[in-house]
Amino acid sequence: MAAQDVFLGRQPILDRDQCIVAYELLFRSADTTSVSVSDDMQATASVIHHAFSEMGVQTVLGAQLGFINVSADMLLSDLVELLPREQVVLELLETIVVTEAVVERCRALKLLGFALALDDFVYDDTYLPLLALVDIVKVDLLLHTQDELRAAVSQLKQWPVKLLAEKVDSAEQAAYCQALGFDLFQGYYFARPSVLSARRADPAQVALTRLLGLVLRDAETQQIEQVFKQHPNLTYNLMRLVNSVASGARHSIASVSQAIMVLGRKQLQRWLQLLLFTLQAGAPYPSPLLLLTAARGRMMELLAGKQRRGADYCDEAFMAGILSLIDVLIDRPLADIVGELGLGERLAAALLRREGEMGALLQLVESVEHPDLSRTLALLAQCGGLSLSDLTMAEIEAMCWANQIAEATA
């Protein structure tokens, strides 16, 4: 199966400390002509096997697990055993009818070393044999009222399973589920803008924003150094990043002026953008917001390159991806941040209104985070010269790069 046939989507799964511990992975074939159920199962298995064996998904997951949806047909087939058992969680779809054959197969897979999860769980006595075998139970918040959710948690505590809340759309929902006793949380709630408040601005983030503005305006090196001298912690963090393997520098760098000279303004601009996301007060490692923004930025840059755009456009595309979540981090209106940084009209239109060619590219990258193949293909058609293969390979490279960034900022 060729790479252009594969659509890959993923959604983060966080623990109680807000660290990403896994991703739910969605694999689909872009070929929708097949109508046979058995052919569809074979195609799904082939796509998954291809993704792990050839596309490098196992590598880009890093230390995290990958949750993979499994139908009854796939569960009972030998194809599932092609998956790397040490890195995947087999997620049993809610459509599976619990039969003796299903229970025996789950027992056998457990003996082989696979971890199992129940998807979209709604309590029913027919699930009792599986509850003794599975490791994780996923509860869809949209399928339960708060009272039903509380009752479901109370029932499930009879078994030694981890509870995962899915479709968590806000920090408030995450806090409620944590209070109920959930262990894992799935969704992009950490990237949702909070209600803007009058809280005191973080001095480090204010300084970084000022530094980024100076670099974008091509200010004198001495002006940039002066800001760093006022904030030793920023200098320390910058030196850590610059001296990391991700910077590509061959020798250790001992001063800000040397860093600027060795890196060049474009690279310094890039690191300042990423540094913003490493200074969140009390943020876990790796910061889920850092991972998401780093992947967005790199994916935007790679796709702009595939469109055969110039270096300046690719740099702007990277910045669009990084800054697309800056309002969540700084807790200020995006329009104010864009104005303060003095961004050009093309970049401002992409960030504020998702307009123009760069805005279309940003929408495309965002669509992959909320897997919907039809929407992604529609957006792909608006981004001239890009194929599904380009998108998938850029996504995988971007995920790998984001993991390297997280390691460099540990």
Q: 33 with 99, same domain?
A: yes
Domain boundary among 170, 191, 212: 191
Domain boundary among 191, 210, 240: 191
The answer to whether 225 touches 256, Cβ cutoff 8 Å, is yes
Collapsing DSSP states into helix, strand and coil, what is residue 70? strand
The predicted pLDDT at position 1 comes to 41
Q: 136 with 217, same domain?
A: no
Q: 235 with 366, same domain?
A: yes
Q: 277 with 155, same domain?
A: no
Q: 183 with 238, same domain?
A: no
This model's pTM is above 0.95: no
Q: 168 with 275, same domain?
A: no
73: CATH: 3.20.20.450
Furthest C-alpha separation in the chain: 74
Q: 82 with 146, same domain?
A: yes
Dist CA 262 CA 160 (whole Å)? 54
Dist CA 153 CA 26 (whole Å)? 27
* Closest-CA residue to 67 (of 199, 162, 2, 208): 162
383: CATH: 1.10.3210
Domain boundary among 136, 163, 191: 191
Dist CA 181 CA 152 (whole Å)? 11
Q: 267 with 393, same domain?
A: yes
- Structural domain of residue 50, as residue ranges? 3-191
- Provide block-wise average pLDDT over 10 residues at a time, the chain (410 residues): 65 93 83 45 69 75 88 89 90 92 97 96 88 96 92 92 95 94 94 58 77 86 83 73 56 69 79 76 71 92 91 90 87 86 90 96 94 89 90 90 72
